[in-house]
Structure 1
């Protein structure tokens, strides 16, 4: 089943924020923890196959409770790790994605957006409709 056909047969079950910032991944996670009172910790890297034989390995920080899962994923590979590649290629101006799965519906996405916008060196925080992203599959694998 090709990627486009598979993508058309499901909808995502998470809310998505796009973040632009020059901060390093560990600094971004720390600031999010401080401002939003999350407990993001370094998790196993997010690993996907872009094309046959070409892989992307990007950092992942995760906060997990019984009913809430939050992931901070880096969109860009560092140039020292190889040619420039993106987790979501159609969003090249975005540095990070924050995925929020909340079964309790206690987290208000607008409040999280507002909180993250107050972090020094955060240039942009935008709520995205993940169903409209062509490469949304890359966030879930």
Structure 2
């Protein structure tokens, strides 16, 4: 009798392509332009991507789109999250801002597009080229997900 065991790595390796986007646009404006230029329909997800560490909550916005034609799920994910901190000092209320990153090794990337599924390389490259046509986008490019230390944050 042959026995085959599965390790955790057999379940955690999801097939997806990852695109990095540099822009000053807010998430909803970027989603609008991506819908227009890529002929897709990103919509705001009901829940954001939330993390809690040492009683500090961080939330990253997510927009999603499911393509029935190509059988892909698309996600537009913010790479940064800002949180205001208030402290009292000598009867003064001081406010500071803390910025957290979903993928800390890619701090200059403002948004990621995750295309879940086995997308062809040419399809992803054409998508990157179409994103670059948006005037408000500085640049976009394909990211090698295997080079990321924090890629587990993209599995949801």
TM-score interval (norm. to shorter)? 0.7 to 0.9
Query: Structure 1 residue runs of 4+, over 6 Å off?
Result: none
SS of the residue aligned with 1:114? helix
User: Does 2:18 match 1:16?
Assistant: yes
Structure 2 residue runs of 5 or longer lacking an equivalent are: 1-7, 86-96
Deviations 1:39-87 (A, max 9, x none): 1011123324363544321111110134110000001113548511011
Within 5 A, what are the aligned runs for 1:1-40?
10-40=12-42
User: If the length of structure 2 is used for normalisation, what is the TM-score?
Assistant: 0.76
User: If the length of structure 1 is used for normalisation, what is the TM-score?
Assistant: 0.83
Deviation (angstroms), 1:126: 1.3
- 2:16–2:118 Cα contact (<8 Å) kept: no
Deviates most, 121-130 or 28-37: 121-130
User: Does 2:111 match 1:96?
Assistant: yes
Aligned length: 136
Cα RMSD, aligned residues only: 2.6
Instruction: State the alpha-carbon separation in 1 of the partners of residues 82 and 54 from structure 2.
Output: 21
Tell me: CA distance 1:126–1:106, structure 2 relative to 1, closer, same or farther (3 Å): closer
Structure 1 residue runs of 5 or longer lacking an equivalent are: 1-5
Of 42, 46, 49, 2:48 maps to 46
Instruction: State the alpha-carbon separation in 1 of the partners of residues 146 and 153 from structure 2.
Output: 12
SS of the residue aligned with 1:44? coil
Of 68, 73, 77, 2:77 maps to 73
- Which has the greater radius of gyration? 2
Instruction: Give the structure with the larger strand fraction.
Output: 2
